[in-house]
């Protein structure tokens, strides 16, 4: 039986988004949302009847064409032309999960009753969402300034019977879908095209999805780092709460506590040590992983604010009898947050690769490259190369996109955020971090095997038993691509099975 999430003015949290995605909930508009949408549209229609003066985006051209007045009989054509002309995205297709999030967030933003759209338009977007009719959207084309114009144009094309959609595993034309569902095209009224195209839903959807993935990887970085600590015969003292209470960053405290819990009861962590200190990649796990946790908390606040906002232009205020052209579509808050996300997550991969390097270096009683007969066997030499290559790629991806800007629309749009580029870079970087952690887990599980018969904690031993069912101990050289691929898949499955969503 289907369950529903009701679109309303209630505050939408990251937990709500997670629940909607995990539970595959359908959407419905609350009576309040319907009333707000309808009242706003009625107000706009009445305002248009009594006013001949130009109102930007409603009876004028767009961008630098803001001073061109459009006659009333051409307003529908104006809006349709806007959607079609802006649908010039290129590059890869946006993943379906993110397209679905874009639909959801666009519906949410339009439901507040400040955008002037028809109720019929919003209900059609809800129907797309509920029937998994996902418009084909492309990754390139948005400057992250006047909203995500090109991606949102592609998201909106099916409303007017244009473009393509992904439906039941195939890409089909929107006309086919309209015919199959016996739907008419939406006749866009004044302001509607701009309401659909203005907005930050491309950046927001990427950001929300990337943030959810980042929280999973933050947890996994602590877990895999703990396994590496055990494999390296590391010391527990740097994780003592006393150390962190005198520098009480929340993320640092949380990381140290989690590592202590992961290794609790371990014979290895509690055995006498021949060394008095560990390298920073082990000793400073709380400080480095913790700083990423604190960054994620800040980034979450930015994105939660955004998804509870109205981000198109102009904004309509019924009670105040005002239609105001502003700049809520500008992606600067998101661009900065996405760049911060890139840097913070890149560091989890960076320190992970350093632990991999330490594990294969023939130190602390471990065999060089973690195999017998090194020389005959290269062992885990090249997985470290692969991790290093990915870390270097992430450093390039982490270069801030928001420091760039480029003039568009004949100088009218003279500062842009480039947040859309930051968004796609962030997702690729986060995928890369998962690959690095999978390689670290591959190395750490191999290294920990050489500590037998000493045992790690019950939790880690149980985790590794499950891992060993998928990724076997390596006795001699083989095609390691396969084990790395299986290690990545194990991480994905672990997150799903444990509903691992939040740090």
What positions carry a catalytic annotation?
56
What span, in angstroms and rounded, lies between the C-alpha atoms of 325 and 346? 38
Spell out the residues 6+ positions from residue 32 whose beta carbon is closer than 8 angstroms to its own: 8, 9
Long-range contacts made by residues 164-173, C-beta under 8 angstroms, separation at least 24? Answer: 164/135, 164/136, 165/128, 165/133, 165/134, 165/135, 165/136, 166/96, 166/99, 166/133, 166/134, 166/135, 166/136, 167/131, 167/132, 167/133, 167/134, 168/132, 171/136
What span, in angstroms and rounded, lies between the C-alpha atoms of 442 and 468? 10
β-partners of residue 26 are: 4
Tokens, residue 274 = 């021949």
* DSSP H/E element including 170: strand 170-173
Counts for the chain of helices (H) and strands (E), in that order: 19, 9
380 SS3 class: coil
β-partners of residue 145 are: 147
Asked if 126 and 42 count as a contact pair (C-beta separation under 8 A), the reply is no
Beta strand 138-140 with 90-93 is antiparallel
373 SS3 class: coil
What span, in angstroms and rounded, lies between the C-alpha atoms of 405 and 336? 13
Cis peptide before 461 (omega within 30 of 0): no
């Amino acid at each position: 039986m289907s369950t529903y999430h009701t679109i309303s003015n209630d505050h939408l949290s990251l937990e709500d988004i997670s629940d909607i995605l995990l539970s595959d909930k359908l959407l419905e508009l609350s009576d309040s949302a319907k009333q707000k949408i309808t009242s706003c549209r009625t107000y706009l229609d009445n305002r248009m009847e009594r006013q001949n003066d130009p109102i930007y985006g409603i009876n004028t051209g767009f961008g630098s064409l803001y001073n061109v007045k459009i006659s009333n009989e051409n307003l529908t054509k104006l809006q349709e032309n806007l959607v079609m002309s802006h649908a010039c995205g290129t590059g890869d297709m946006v993943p379906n999960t993110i397209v679905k999030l874009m639909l959801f967030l666009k519906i949410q933003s339009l439901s507040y009753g400040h955008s002037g759209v028809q109720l019929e338009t919003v209900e059609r977007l809800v129907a797309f969402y509920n029937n998994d009719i996902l418009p084909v959207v492309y990754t390139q084309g948005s400057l992250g300034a006047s909203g995500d114009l090109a991606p949102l144009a592609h998201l909106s094309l099916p409303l007017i019977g244009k473009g393509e959609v992904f439906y039941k595993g195939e890409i089909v034309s929107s006309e086919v879908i309209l015919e199959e569902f016996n739907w008419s095209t939406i006749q866009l009224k004044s302001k509607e095209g701009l309401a659909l195209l203005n907005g930050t839903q491309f950046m927001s959807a990427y950001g929300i999805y990337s943030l959810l993935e980042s929280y999973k990887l933050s947890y996994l970085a602590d877990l895999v780092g703990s396994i590496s600590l055990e494999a390296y015969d590391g010391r527990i003292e740097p994780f003592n709460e006393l150390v962190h209470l005198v520098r009480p960053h929340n993320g640092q405290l949380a990381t140290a506590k989690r590592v202590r819990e992961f290794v609790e009861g371990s014979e290895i962590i509690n055995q006498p040590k021949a060394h008095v200190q560990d390298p920073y990649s082990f000793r400073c796990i709380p400080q480095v992983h913790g700083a990423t946790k604190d960054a994620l908390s800040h980034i979450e606040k930015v994105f939660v604010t955004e998804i509870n906002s109205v981000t198109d232009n102009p904004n309509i205020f019924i009670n105040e009898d005002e239609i105001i052209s502003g700049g809520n579509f500008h992606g600067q808050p998101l661009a900065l947050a996405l760049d911060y996300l890139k840097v913070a997550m890149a560091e989890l991969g960076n320190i992970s690769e350093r632990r991999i390097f330490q594990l294969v270096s023939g130190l602390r009683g471990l065999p060089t490259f973690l195999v017998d007969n090194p020389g005959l066997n290269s062992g885990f030499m090249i997985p470290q190369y692969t991790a290093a290559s990915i870390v270097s790629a992430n450093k390039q991806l982490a270069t801030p996109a928001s420091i760039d800007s480029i003039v568009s629309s004949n100088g009218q749009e003279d500062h842009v955020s480039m947040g859309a580029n930051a968004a796609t870079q962030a997702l690729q970087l986060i995928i890369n971090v998962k690959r690095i952690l999978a390689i670290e887990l591959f190395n750490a599980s191999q290294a920990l095997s050489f500590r037998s018969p000493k045992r790690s904690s019950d939790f880690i031993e149980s985790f590794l038993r499950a891992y060993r069912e998928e990724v076997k101990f390596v006795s001699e050289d083989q095609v390691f691509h396969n084990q790395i691929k299986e290690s990545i898949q194990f991480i994905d499955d672990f997150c799903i099975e444990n509903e691992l969503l939040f740090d």
